[in-house]
Chain A
Amino acid sequence: MSIAFKPDETFRGDYSYRNSPVAIRRFPFPFPQDQYMYSVNIEPHTKGPAGSVFENAFDIDEHYVAEMRDRAITLERDPGRCMSLPHMIDAEWDTLELIMESLARDYPDLFQLHRDGARWSWINRPLGLEQTFTFGDVATLPCPPFEYITRQCQGDFVIMDQRDNDLWADSGMITSQADWSLMFDVGMSFKEWHGPVPLAHDMGIFERALKYLLMLQQGRPVRRLNWTMTINPRLDTSPETYPEWGPDRTTVTPDNVGDKVHLRVELQGLFRLPRSNGMLFSIRGYLASLNDLATHPRWAKRLHRVLTTLPNELAEYKGLVRYRQTAIDWLAKFDDGADLGTGTQPE
Chain B
Amino acid sequence: MSASMQVEITRIRDLAPGIREFSLSPAGEGSFPVYSGGSHIVLSLPLGARPHRNAYSLLGDPNERHTWRIAVRKQEDSRGGSRWLHEQAREGMKLDIAPPMNLFPLVRTGRRHILVAGGIGVTPILSQARELARIGADFEVHYAYRGPEFGVFSDELEALAPGRVHHYVQSRREQIEFRSLLSGRPLGTHFYICGPAGMVAASMEAGHTLGWPESHLHSEQFLAPAGGEAFDVKLAKSDKQFTVPSELSLLEAIEQQGVDAPYLCRGGACGQCELEVLEASGELLHHDLYLSAAERASGRKIMTCVSRLKGGCLTLNL
Contact = CB atoms under 8 A, between A and B. Distances in A.
- Residue with the greatest number of chain B CB neighbours at <10 A, chosen from A161, A215, A274: A274
Nearest to B3: A220
B2 A212 contact: no
Contacts of A200: none
A114 to B, nearest CB: 15
A16 B107 CA distance: 47
B2 A276 contact: no
A285 to B, nearest CB: 22
Nearest to B267: A212
A276 B36 contact: yes
A42 B39 CA distance: 25
B270 A41 contact: yes
Interface string A42-60: 1110000000000000000
A90 B130 CA distance: 14
B33 A219 contact: yes
B255 to A, nearest CB: 14
B105 A277 contact: yes
A177 B248 CA distance: 41
Given A39-B271, A219-B2, A163 B109 contact: yes
Interface in B228-273: 264-271
Contacts of A164: 107, 215
A39 B274 CA distance: 14
Given A208-B289, A275-B35, A218 B266 contact: no
Interface string A234-248: 000000000000000
B249 to A, nearest CB: 13
B101 A217 contact: yes
Contact of B33 (A44, A208, A212, A218): A218
Nearest to B288: A208
A36 to B, nearest CB: 16
A3 interface: no
B118 to A, nearest CB: 23
B179 interface: no
Interface residues of B, number: 32
A163 B135 CA distance: 18
A87 interface: yes
B1 A218 contact: yes
Contacts of A39: 270-271
B269 A212 contact: yes
A191 to B, nearest CB: 15
Contact of A163 (B1, B108, B266, B269): B108
B99 interface: yes
A141 interface: no
Interface string A211-229: 1100101111010000000
A277 B264 contact: no
A121 interface: no
A272 B105 CA distance: 13
Given A162-B105, A276-B108, A277-B102, A215 B215 contact: no
B195 interface: no
Contacts of B81: none
Given A163-B108, A209-B269, A277-B102, A41 B264 contact: yes
B100 A274 contact: yes
B223 A215 contact: yes
B106 to A, nearest CB: 8
A275 B34 contact: yes
Contacts of B290: 208
A40 interface: yes
25 contacts: A39-B270, A40-B269, A41-B270, A42-B267, A44-B266, A87-B109, A161-B109, A163-B105, A163-B109, A208-B289, A211-B269, A211-B289, A212-B267, A212-B289, A215-B223, A218-B100, A218-B101, A219-B1, A219-B99, A222-B265, A275-B34, A275-B35, A277-B38, A277-B39, A277-B102
Interface of B: 1-3, 33-36, 38-39, 62-63, 99-102, 105, 107-109, 135, 215, 223, 264-271, 289-290
